[in-house]
A and B are shown apart, each in its own frame.
Chain A
């Protein structure tokens, strides 16, 4: 694996973002809209509730920021790939001495940069506008962040593999895939509040113990280590399977001669 090639590919994405500021708006605008809507709902509920729930409701904002970590990491992989498709650059990349792992690593890094930008903006606005400080999660924020980012990468590889397999007609999957799992990973509610039949499914995803852990830290100040270990273990499995799926689909498109068709359509 060559750092030079990864940095060259990252440079290409950085040039793209500096050349087209509208993409930066996309990184900031939609998360801010979400934040303002949820922030206002939170304030409304707090003002009209005298129970403990009123103060606890702030976890909505934390959940939203952490969800964006997952979503932006997934987008970093999937949208970076689509950028190469949209600009008919895919062939140039695939006939250059770029290994699949280098290509994916560059998209992972782009995902990381996207997360940083979005989280800094959202963290600042939620602190100023709604007195919610994401750093109240203290050092737990680091493993939460890392686990969600890695899970986002896995979802990004799965989305990209599906797009490679089904062609540009399936490109909406780049945005849709994270939302397929959102209802079952307990982002905004506890697993125990979900229908009983769906609860076992929730624990199949690494995001679930992270969101459960976040609520626990916010409520009690302590973290259940088993949640973290479960998330990390599941992430290893997901990352391995997603990487295998991506490479398998890429080889299949080569075998079937679909790669060039896809890259020049």
Chain B
């Protein structure tokens, strides 16, 4: 686990032990909005087969980071690479090998579920799309929804349909933006288990944002905490909890959200 570091230390830390292929990398990524830095020299690496949680309070920079990584927002400075390729110059090639699901986007509500999935299967060039869709719907336990109108699904059903779309092209890199937001505990648990199962079976690298620390503890191998656009700490969830004198990850989250630091302020020695 690492604690607040200079960019140089972060860069040094990133060249550590994991020998798996790096499938996503940000180097010194900065994004300013009208003079305010939403991301400030943000650097990280995501390896194949790893689930990396991106955490932070509202406004910490998670969504900006995700949008930069998806090519929806251009960084003010810094570099982005996926599969070893510069993102901007190879956007289409990279997106073909990636996918995305968010609680805040939807598939067209006026189409039937199978119609939406078929359209995206064709966009991604999925061979035998009907078979693939049927397999994924069965995996996500939503086979019964195929002829339902997408806009009439419950939040849990809609999330699983979005995940089905995200798995269509067997992505090597998956970005999930709060996939369990607004789900009841039962459905959230199912979603977490499916994500983990598919990720392990297919060795996918996942970038995962959530405000649900249960999600993070169950799903993520490693997490990065952001505060005001900067990395505050990074490590496995259990290491962070153990070394931050907190009871759980939620306490760590609250400390960082309120103080911007993982550790409580050390008590000052009384004045002599």
Contacts and interface: CB of A to CB of B under 8 A. Distances in A.
B122 A7 contact: yes
A9 B125 CA distance: 12
Interface stretch (A64-72, A87-95, A131-139, A165-173): A87-95
A107 B38 CA distance: 35
A166 to B, nearest CB: 18
B73 interface: yes
A2 to B, nearest CB: 8
B210 to A, nearest CB: 17
A11 B122 contact: yes
Contacts of B105: 88-89, 91-92, 263-264
B108 A12 contact: yes
B64 A95 contact: no
Nearest to B129: A8
B14 to A, nearest CB: 25
Contacts of A88: 105-106
Interface stretch (A13-21, A37-45, A182-190, A209-217): A13-21
Interface in B25-70: 31, 33, 63-64, 67, 70
A259 interface: yes
Interface residues of B, number: 37
Contacts of A19: 110-112, 115
B102 interface: yes
A16 B109 CA distance: 10
Contacts, number: 99
B119 to A, nearest CB: 4
Nearest to A5: B123
B59 to A, nearest CB: 14
A4 B127 CA distance: 12
Interface string A65-105: 00000000000000000011001110110111111000000
B110 A16 contact: yes
A195 interface: no
B107 A8 contact: no
Interface of B: 31, 33, 63-64, 67, 70-74, 92-93, 95-96, 98-100, 102, 104-112, 115-116, 118-120, 122-125, 165
Interchain residue pairs A-B with the least CB separation, the first 8:
A8-B122, A87-B108, A97-B95, A97-B96, A12-B119, A257-B73, A91-B105, A15-B115
